[in-house]
Amino acid sequence: MGATVTRAPRQINRTYEWIRLRAHALKRKASPLNLRKAFESDPHRAEDMSVRTEHVFFDYSRQLATDKTMDLLFGLADAAGLKAKIEAMFNGEKINVTEGRAVLHTALRQQDNTPVYVDGENVIPQVREVLEKIKTFSNEVLGGERTGVTDRKIKNIVAIGIGGSYLGPQFLSEACAAYAKEGMDLRFVANVDGHDFKTVTKNLDPAETLFVLESKTFTTAETMKNARTAKAWMRERLGDSPEVVKKHFVAASTATEKVKAFGIDTDNMFGFWDWVGGRYSATSAVGMLPLALYIGYDRATEILEGACWMDQHFRHTPFSRNIPVLSALIDIWNINFLGIRTRALLPYSQALDKLPAHTQQVEMESNGKGTDLWGRVVRYFTGEVVFGQAGTNGQHSFYQLIHQGMKVAADFIGVINPQYQVGEKTAEEVDHHQELSSNVLAQPDALAFGKSEVEVINELVSQNKLSPEAIAGLSPHKVFTGNRPSSVMLIEELTPFTAGALLAWTEHRAAVKGFIWGINSFDQWGVELGKQLGVKIRNLFFRSNADSTFRVDAARDDLNPSTETMTNAFISGELPR
């Protein structure tokens, strides 16, 4: 694996284990697994296909898998050298081979001082140093010792980033909002669309606002455009003294000179390292700095503790009881052998509403690859489409499709105890959380077991309202085929700790699939081409800004005619005529 491999191994789809799984899947296609019958014939199925831990319960008994399926999947994991690849990641080997980097987001939340080496240097003291700096800074802001330029207490934190510098921290901030320090507000600006900045900063008092700029290189186009707009916004309201920027801007970055040139005091720069990938950076300064300012440093470190718990579970638990590994293997079974290449992530907690968006990025940017680690074209699907929304909102949005339309795998997340107790429990009335929970318990069964035509007809007849002809016409529309796969994860309560565990579950699940597929889950060259072409178009806009008569010419400016027409529309401010 990684830099130690000198000869490319056989691609995973050419292994004996993959071929056995394909044969198994063909038998299942000829004689599909019926989940109703599977539960009826095996009273221990739910127990055997679930994992119980002190913090998380995971049930995959409604997946279209049998004991034999799982044994074959474990064999595939062994054939891919999964255990060794997991250890290589935790040990700091440079498994991101295209960029020559280690992948050590796990070191960011390690709870002991066991050394982890990169290029012969133990990185744990560096991690501790940054955390200590975040602790001091956040305590001073929350305690009122560090104020804005007018000496007023900072109450509003605006994090400016995009992608990995945005989605993970935003998920954690919403999950942990119930733990926010009194009077503190945390907002995010990501989209370069000016509407985002205007909306987020609306009604903010600049004297009480701190911007956290999040860019490792301090060159990310969208982030730096928003950063310059934030600087102008602040100076327009508080004056152009250098102290305005020094007291109202901090940075999570490694680009010391660029941070200094922006006007930020480098004492207020919080570093991270090239072994922290963007979408895996939520437990670095990128996430921990704004979160410590929002919920307090001690609560923020509980996120690290929860992520570390999942890290250790992932690293040390046998695959048959390992939640991230089981999740990933089931995904591979669905994607590569059953042809189910879309997954819905359905958290039944409004505070987890941003988890699907973060998971979408982690999965689709990590594993949407067309070549393997050795540059060979892959002849099998890598990655899946991930989407989702908090329940019960999603039930009135897209559940119709997953119940009676295309087959979509689903992951449900339930929270046993709510963050807020709303409503009273009586013999006649359930409270809000019981209403929510009744749905997260019912939906997996509806997907798995469905409703047969006989059941539909019997139900319609019992209502004694319709003629036989009407029943015959209506019944096909009310049939649910069932056998739609899902898993359920339960947590006892949504806390910073369990939010951190969910974050790590998502990260490791994506990594396992990449390890087995033999791809690099830690680079993202696919986003580069659009950026390069964007620079070219941007330069044309520069020219039009300097010359009001300038218009793009396809031949001269090396553009295709379609882009010529549309670029000129943006320059002129009018639709093509």
Of 68, 198, 432, 531, the catalytic one is 531
305 belongs to the catalytic site: no
- Cα–Cα dist 371/272, whole Å: 29
- Cα–Cα dist 304/384, whole Å: 28
- Cα–Cα dist 278/340, whole Å: 28
CA proximity to 3, closest of 139, 126, 95? 95
Give 389-396's long-range contacts (Cβ < 8 A, gap of 24+).
Answer: 389/346, 389/353, 389/356, 390/346, 390/347, 390/348, 390/349, 390/350, 390/352, 390/353, 391/346, 391/347, 391/348, 391/436, 391/439, 391/440, 391/443, 392/348, 392/436, 392/439, 394/344, 394/346, 395/439, 395/443
Tokens of 245: 């920027």
CA proximity to 42, closest of 27, 24, 62, 28? 62
531 belongs to the catalytic site: yes
- Cα–Cα dist 102/276, whole Å: 8
Reduce the DSSP state of residue 366 to 3 states and report it.
helix
- For the residues of 317-349, what is the DSSP string, one character each? S-GGG-HHHHHHHHHHIIIIIS---EEEEEEES
Amino acid identity for residue 440 in this structure:
V
User: Are 432 and 418 contacting, i.e. CB atoms less than 8 angstroms apart?
Assistant: yes
DSSP structure class, residue 449: H
- Cα–Cα dist 524/537, whole Å: 22
The answer to whether the Cα torsion of 256, 260, 266, 270 is positive or negative is: negative
User: Are 460 and 475 contacting, i.e. CB atoms less than 8 angstroms apart?
Assistant: yes
- Cα–Cα dist 219/370, whole Å: 27
The answer to whether the Cα torsion of 412, 415, 416, 418 is positive or negative is: negative
27 belongs to the catalytic site: no
User: Are 292 and 300 contacting, i.e. CB atoms less than 8 angstroms apart?
Assistant: yes
Of 396, 425, 432, 536, the catalytic one is 396
Tokens of 227: 């950063």
Of 93, 365, 384, 507, the catalytic one is 365
> Angle at Cα 502 formed by Cα 170 and Cα 333, nearest 5°?
120
Helix intervals (H) in 485-553: 496-517, 528-546
List residues with catalytic annotation. Answer: 365, 396, 531
